Structure 1
Amino acid sequence: MDLANLKTKDNESESRFELSLDGEIAFIDYKIGKSGDVYFVHTEVPKQLGGKGIGHKLVRESLEIIEQNDCLIIPLCPFVKSFLKSHISDYEHVLSERAKL
């Protein structure tokens, strides 16, 4: 497993960010609000991929996609909230003013 060569993709038709590995897909479901803010609703990493840093990579790269698209997020998912609390100085600029950690 070579995580460095894997990239998170925005699957717009499914409204989720995805990271695919060994036939499994880790993902973050999102919704786009009326204001244009992106709500991170749910993160899921298959058990077979757990404990390998896939979840953190998925969140980091999803936030990079958000940043590249000049969007702001409102994290509802506890995993994403936890990640952001630990890395707030790196990602505070992508949080909507309505976001609560």
Structure 2
Amino acid sequence: MDLASLKTRDNSEKHRFEIKVDDEMAFLDYKIGKSGDVYMVHTEVPEKLGGQGVGHKLVRESLEIIENHGCQIIPLCPFVRSFLQDHREDYGHLLSEKAKL
């Protein structure tokens, strides 16, 4: 698997960001709040793709998509919160004032 060639896409109909690898789909569910904040709810990476950096790429590229839309985030998913704790200097500015890590 060439991780660099994979791209995260926003599947707005299903309210999730996705990376497809062969017949496997990794995704990050989200909800849009009334204020426009993006609630990052749940990340799922198939076992077959685990440990290969797919989850980190999914979160990183999802945050970049959200940033490009000028939104702020509220990370509810433990995986996203952990990622943000490790990369706060890069993505901390996206945290809504309502967000807690």
| Same fold at TM > 0.5 | yes
Compute the displacement of 1:4 (Å). Answer: 0.4
Match of 1:84 in 2: 84
Letter in 1 for 2:79: F
TM-score (norm 2): 0.99
Q: Alignment RMSD, CA only?
A: 0.4
Compute the displacement of 1:13 (Å). Answer: 0.2
Identity of aligned residues (%): 71
Q: Does 1:49 align with 2:49?
A: yes
Q: Provide structure 1 residue ranges, at least 5 long, that are not aligned to the other structure.
A: none
1:46-96 CA-to-partner distances (Å, cap 9, x unmatched) read 000000000000000000000100000000000000000000000011110
The runs of at least 4 aligned residues of structure 1 exceeding 3 Å deviation read none
Distance in 1 separating the partners of 2:38 and 2:58: 16
SS of the residue aligned with 1:13?
coil
Q: How many residues align?
A: 101
Match of 2:39 in 1: 39
Q: Provide structure 2 residue ranges, at least 5 long, that are not aligned to the other structure.
A: none
Letter in 2 for 1:8: T
TM-score (norm 1): 0.99
Aligned residue runs from structure 1 range 56-75, under 5 A: 56-75=56-75
Letter in 1 for 2:68: Q
Distance in 1 separating the partners of 2:66 and 2:95: 10
Distance in 2 separating the partners of 1:15 and 1:32: 8
SS of the residue aligned with 2:13?
helix
SS of the residue aligned with 1:92?
helix
Distance in 1 separating the partners of 2:64 and 2:36: 17
Distance in 1 separating the partners of 2:4 and 2:86: 22
Distance in 2 separating the partners of 1:38 and 1:24: 25
